Chain A
């Protein structure tokens, strides 16, 4: 099993550009989430999904869009990148129910110049 796969691993964007961070899991997990990690701020929840067709906002959703058309995929879209979105982004998945730990991908390091 590949687990949670994030692509790309590294990306440099110019301010105002758009891009999609890809996330795929092969564990048939219902729950998926996106986090960003910044120094001193820990892991902050951007958006999450409890199943295909269902998404909700996390702690820092502004500037990001998500959709969940399949169980396996949960892409994160930046419509107009800003330097404040420079961060390391992690995607995670979990079976339904709060009693399972999330499995994380290895991250995407994004720099917006």
Chain B
């Protein structure tokens, strides 16, 4: 039972345009969400996060939107750059004694073409 789902395995975008990566979750107890970026042969690196008390968090070119009623979050990258080409994972956790348990989605491979 996949609690965090990224239904698009890949996305291709032109340089300078917006990239939108989507993520859905099923566990209503999740209250903190993160996005990670992964290059080949490297470990994932933390990108941006959002708490369930917010519906938007922005950091430079990266913005994460959270729609709790739809159990959906998205990552917007504007403008997209070739160096953004990587696999992006969304992840979710819940507070309390499950705080150390971080569940990831399947990942979306973003390709930004010059």
Classify the interface of chain B: helix, strand, loop or mixed: loop
User: Would you list which residues of chain A between 28 and 58 have a CB under 8 Å from chain B?
Assistant: 30-31, 33, 35, 40-45, 48-50, 56, 58
CA distance A104 to B104 in the complex (A): 13
Binary A-proximity of B40-56 (CB < 8 A = 1, otherwise 0): 01111110010100000
CA distance A94 to B44 in the complex (A): 13
Q: Are B32 and A45 in contact, CB atoms less than 8 angstroms apart?
A: no
**B100 sits at the interface (CB 8 A):** yes
**A1 sits at the interface (CB 8 A):** no
Q: Are A104 and B100 in contact, CB atoms less than 8 angstroms apart?
A: no
Q: How large is the interface on B (under 10, 10 to 19, 20 to 34, 35 or more residues)?
A: 20 to 34
Number of A interface residues at 8 Å Cβ cutoff, please give it.
31
Segment of B14-22, B76-84, B89-97 in the binding face? B89-97
Contacts of B104 in A (CB 8 A): 35, 42-45
Contacting residue for A101 out of B34, B95, B103, CB 8 A: B34
- How distant is B99 from chain A, measured CB to nearest CB, in Å? 4
Contacting residue for B100 out of A49, A103, A105, CB 8 A: A49
Contacts of A59 in B (CB 8 A): 103
Give the A-binding residues of B (Cβ under 8 A): 6, 9, 31-32, 34, 36, 41-46, 49, 51, 89, 91, 93-95, 97, 99-107
